[in-house]
Amino acid sequence: MGVIFDIKKFAVHDGDGIRTTIFLKGCPLNCWWCHNPESRNPEIEEFHIPQSGNHSGEFKRVTIGRSVKVSDLLREIEKDIIFYDTSGGGVTISGGEPLMQPRFLKELLQGIKEMDLHTIVDTSGYAQWKHFEAIVPYTDTFFYDIKVIDCDTHVTHTGVPNDLILENLEKLMDVHQDIRIRIPLIPDVTDTEKNLHDIGQYLSQFKPLRRVYLIPFNPLAKAKYQRFGYPDKVKDFQVQSPEKLKECTDILSTYNLNVFIEN
Ligand code: SF4
C-alpha cells in the first residue's frame, strides 16, 4: 500500500503526450514556493476549512490523501491505454517526493512497465541512492529539480542542504540517459544571475549536456496556502516578465545547455 494525494488524468503538461499523473504524498523538503503544500506531510490529513461563500462560520471537513494498492492504480492507468498509445504519452509519478515511498514506487513502476507504458519520475533528488538505483530499470525519464547551488541558500528556502541532491544527480547521469533538469524560477531566490551562472557552471561538467527546463514562477498555489492555513512566504512574489525569462535563458545557454521554458 502507498499514500497518494491525487491522480490527474489526461495530463498534457507532465511530460510528452497524454499522461496519467499520480501524486504520492510526503516530501522531505519544505520549499517556500511549493505548489502542492498539502503533499508534504506523508500522513493522510484532515482539514477543517471555511465553506466557500458561506459567512455563517461553518467549516467543512476535507481529507487529503488516501491509501491505495498498486493493483488498484494499475487498473486505473489501464483504462486510458488507448490515449497513451495514440499520443506517445504514459504515466508520470510526481509528488511530494515519490522516492519517499520507495517500495511502493518501485512496485508501481514495475507494473506500469509490464503494460509497456512510458514512465516518468519527477523528483527533488533528495533520497537515498539505493532507492534511485532500484527504480532506474523501470524509469524511462527522470524530471530532476535543481533549485539553488549555494548550500546555505538551499537550506534557507527548502529546509535541507543540497549535497545529497547533487551527489545523486552525478550518479544518475552515469547510469541513465534521459534526465531532464528542471529549475523552478523563484524571484530573487533561484532566478538570480549568480544562481543561474552557478547552475550552468555545475551542469556543464556533464557530457553530453542535457535538456534544461525553466519553470516560471506561478502564483496559483497561493489559494491553497490560504485555504489550508499554511504560512505563505512567497505571497508578494511576482511572475517573471518575458524579458526576465529571456535573460535567464540566455545565461544558461552560455553553458551550451538546451534551454526550454515550461508553461
Ligand atoms: S520538493 Fe517539490 S513537493 Fe517537495 S516541498 Fe519542494 S516543491 Fe514541494
Q: What is the pLDDT of residue 236?
A: 84
Q: What is the pLDDT of residue 109?
A: 98
Q: What is the pLDDT of residue 54?
A: 59
Q: Which fold has domain 2-185+215-236?
A: TIM Barrel (3.20.20)
List per-block mean pLDDT (blocks of 10 residues) for the chain, which spans 263 residues: 96 95 98 92 89 71 94 97 96 97 98 98 98 98 98 98 98 95 97 98 87 92 84 88 97 95 87
Q: What is the pLDDT of residue 148?
A: 98
Q: Look at the block and give the residue holding cell 529539480.
A: 145
| DSSP state letter for 34 | -
25 lines ligand 1 (CB under 6 A): no
Atom of ligand 1 nearest to the CA of 29: 5
Instruction: Give SS3 for 123.
Output: strand
Q: What is the pLDDT of residue 40?
A: 95
Q: What is the pLDDT of residue 56?
A: 67
Mutate to test the pocket of ligand 1, among 40, 122, 190, 234 (most ligand atoms within 8 A of CB): 40
CA-CA distance, 27 to 1, in Å (whole number)? 17
* Helices 102-114 and 70-78, packing angle to 10 deg: 40
What's this model's pTM, rounded to 2 decimal places? 0.95
Nearest residue (CA) to ligand 1, atom 7: 34
